[in-house]
Amino acid sequence: MADAERMKRNDLRELLMTTGMALLSSEGVRCGFEGLTFARVFERIEDQTGRRVTAASVYDRIWDSQEDFQWSVLARLIDESSTIDGRTRRRVKRILNDADVTTPEGRWEGLHRLCLFAVEQHVVEASRRQSYRILVAAAGAIASTPADDELAPGAASVRAALQSCLERETNLYVDLYGTIGAQLGFRLREPLVLRQFVLAIGALGDGMALRLTFFPEYGAKIQRPSEQPGGPPSLSSLASLGVEAIATQMLELDPDWTALPR
C-alpha cells in the first residue's frame, strides 16, 4: 500500500499543495502548467520525504483532475505572496530618518531620495522574486478574459485570489505612503486621494518589473538633467523617474503640517 493511502486526506492535500508551490515557484508558469504535473509532484515528494504518492490516492479524494490541482496551487501561491520586501521598508525608514524636514527644499529632497533609491530597490527586488513574477503573469492572463465572462471554477479561484492579494497589497501601500506623507509633510492635491496615488504607482511598478526581463534599461542607471541651470547631471533609473513624475504631479507640500517627533 502506498504511503499516501495511509495519510489523512487533509495531510495529503497539504503535502501536495506545498510541494506543488515549490515546483511552480522554482520553474514558473512557462506560459502554462506543463511542468506542474502530478507525476513530477509525486516524484519530488518521494525524493524529499520518502513518501510514495499514487494517482489513485489523490483523484476523487482531493481533486477531480490534475487541472483542478494546478489551479489550486496557483491560487494558493498568489494568496501567500507579498511584494513589499523587508529591505525596501528598512531603506525607506533610513531615508526618512535622514531627511531634513526643517525646510520645504529638504522635504522635497527627501521625497526625491525615496523615488531615487527606495523605489528603484523595490522594482529590482520584486522583479527577481519568483512568486511576484508569477503573480504579475497570472494577473495578465486573467485580465485578458473579459470581466463578465464566466470562468471555470479553477480560474475563478485564481481571479478571487488575485483580487484579494492586490487589495491587500494596496492597503499596505496606503499605510506605508501615508506614513511617508506624515513624516515629510506632503498631501494629495485635491481632489485626489491616497488610494489613487498608490494605484498609479503600483501599476507603473508592476509593468516595469515585468518588462525588466526584456528591457534591462528599466533598472539601469541613466543620466537625468540637472535641476539647477548649468549643474551636472545626476544618475537615476527609469523606475525612479517614472515614480517621481507621478509624485510631483499628485503631491504637494501640506501648509498646515507639523513635524513629527523622531
Please report, for the domain that includes residue 232, its CATH number.
1.10.357
In angstroms, rounded to a whole number, what is the distance separating the alpha carbons of residues 194 and 186? 11
Average pLDDT over residues 179-189: 97
Average pLDDT over residues 162-189: 95
Q: In this structure, are residues 185 and 250 in contact, taking their beta carbons and an 8 Å threshold? A: no
**Which residue type, as a one-letter code, is found at position 207?**
G
To the nearest whole number, what is the mean pLDDT of the chain?
87
Place of cell 509633510: 185
In angstroms, rounded to a whole number, what is the distance separating the alpha carbons of residues 20 and 76? 10
| Straight-line distance from the first to the last Cα atom of the chain, in angstroms, rounded to the nearest whole number | 64
In angstroms, rounded to a whole number, what is the distance separating the alpha carbons of residues 240 and 253? 20
HSE (side-chain half, CA atoms, 13 Å) at 46: 12
101/212 same-domain check: yes
Average pLDDT over residues 36-45: 96
- 262 found inside a domain: no
Q: How is residue 261 annotated by DSSP?
A: P
Average pLDDT over residues 139-145: 81
227/152 same-domain check: yes
- 130 found inside a domain: yes
Question: What pLDDT does 255 receive?
Answer: 95
Comparing 238 with 102, which gets the higher pLDDT? 102
51/153 same-domain check: no
Is the Cα torsion angle 7, 11, 16, 22 positive or negative in sign? Answer: negative
23/71 same-domain check: yes
User: Which residues 6+ apart lie within 8 Å of 204 measured at CB?
Assistant: 239, 242, 243, 246
pLDDT band at 217 (very low <50, low <70, confident <90, very high): confident
114/231 same-domain check: yes
What is the number of domains present in the chain? 2
- Exposure letters 147-159 (e unless 16+ CB within 10 A, then b): eeeeeeebbebbb
- 219 found inside a domain: yes
Q: What is the pTM of this model?
A: 0.82
97/72 same-domain check: no
Query: Count of CB atoms within 10 A of residue 164's CB?
Result: 13
The range of the structural domain enclosing residue 72 comes to 3-79
Average pLDDT over residues 102-124: 87
68/99 same-domain check: no
92/193 same-domain check: yes
- 214 found inside a domain: yes
Last residue of a domain, one of 20, 50, 79: 79
Last residue of a domain, one of 79, 95, 115: 79
Query: Count of CB atoms within 10 A of residue 91's CB?
Result: 19
Q: In this structure, are residues 61 and 9 in contact, taking their beta carbons and an 8 Å threshold? A: yes
**What would the pLDDT profile of 62-80 be if each residue is shown by its tens digit?**
999 999 999 999 999 999 8
Last residue of a domain, one of 30, 47, 79: 79
19/108 same-domain check: no
Burial class of 197 by CB neighbour count within 10 A (0 to 12, 13 to 18, 19+): buried
- 261 found inside a domain: no
In angstroms, rounded to a whole number, what is the distance separating the alpha carbons of residues 56 and 119? 49
**Which residue type, as a one-letter code, is found at position 106?**
G
222/95 same-domain check: yes
Spell out where the chain has E strands. Answer: 186-188, 222-224, 234-236, 251-253
133/244 same-domain check: yes
In angstroms, rounded to a whole number, what is the distance separating the alpha carbons of residues 116 and 110? 10
In angstroms, rounded to a whole number, what is the distance separating the alpha carbons of residues 51 and 10? 15
Comparing 152 with 252, which gets the higher pLDDT? 252
47/32 same-domain check: yes
Question: What pLDDT does 141 receive?
Answer: 83
- 259 found inside a domain: no
